[in-house]
Structure 1
Amino acid sequence: MCRPSLGLSDAPAAGRFGALARPSSAPGPSAQCVGCRAGLRPDAWDRMASPLFVLEIISLILLLSCVMASTLAAYPDAYQKPGWLRAPYALATLLALTCLLQLLTEPLSRPQDATDIHGLSCSVAIAAVAILPSALVMHRLGRGAVVHPMQAGSLALRTGLALGCLVVRLHEVNDSMFHVLTWHYLPTALGAGLGVWLGRRILRW
């Protein structure tokens, strides 16, 4: 499962992960993380006391607006609503700045968290959540005449990946920003790049 941050090792496993920390029937690390069966992290309300964490969550929620921007990118008159097309990039910049500030102020962040292979299960979980919404948006766009296929494809995948990041961030008890940046947001950025390629191949006039 997504590994807890350093400094929380003295807390009971059940307290850190809730329903996921049942060793008698746990299916495996990746399957547990992908399942996200425990719902909200047990310290969710405590974390809401951190303005930077709240801003990060709000940024992820607002990034779901990429679905609207991807739809606008499919039409020739998208220039009439330039704010919607620029909003995802502004929100991504806000999210990056928020994570950078957390990285500089988070005492539990350690560089070695970025190389912990257990973080791969978080990337898998994000991808698992993102597949269906991204595919639905791509399918909807593919039924029309997309005039900006690369931008629309990138925004379509970004919609699903933002949802995946939101779900995993609210589920996993790990606030090491080295971990979050490496295993949550770096794969998301790569996924948005993949959307550019998919949009060029799948979405056509």
Structure 2
Amino acid sequence: MPTACNVVVLISGSGSNLQALIDSLQPGVSPARIRAVICNRADAYGVERARNAGIDIRVLDHTQYDGREAFDGALIQAIDAFEPHLVVLAGFMRILTPGFVRHYAGRLLNIHPSLLPRHKGLHTHQRALEAGDREHGCSVHFVTEELDGGPLVVQAVVPVQSDDTPESLARRVHIQEHQVYPMAVHWFAEGRLQLVEQGAMLDGSLLPSTGQIIRA
């Protein structure tokens, strides 16, 4: 792993996980360096967060491309211009093509607001409550061609309270997201975390199928 680990962050919205990464991955603290933020929506507040941090920004409006393959091809060109060692999905609301995922195999991370493999997809907090789950949380995982299905790195678990609403549960999960995502990126930047054929490996040992578990 190089001394500096170039990171490109993809966003679509408010960028709260981006802000957590900006705040946590400071020079002298982590070898991870956010080289660029790429967004598919010009009005996303995350663009302003990147601008305030002095980070290069690229906006690629997916509606201006003739289909998913064309957009992902342009996205790859934009990302690769920054020579990334790691690409981080931080609320990037696009389903990526298999070709894109293969291009960044082993260096593409995502965070999902549930304890995978439970509640893949959207509306996870509402679904957790409807299912009567006693625990909920978030998962950092390597991205593969299976939607929300790549090898898990770390999961943060929060108890579901009897009076929880989707909004109150989401707030507590977000707090944990902002802790574990920078942690996983830092592990990768230090060369401690990697994807191998058998799964995710941390410090030379295969992680369990659940990833590392952290309880709030």
Q: TM-score, normalised by structure 1?
A: 0.27
Higher helix share: 1
* Structure with larger Rg: 1
| TM-score using structure 2 length | 0.26
Q: Greater strand percent: which structure?
A: 2
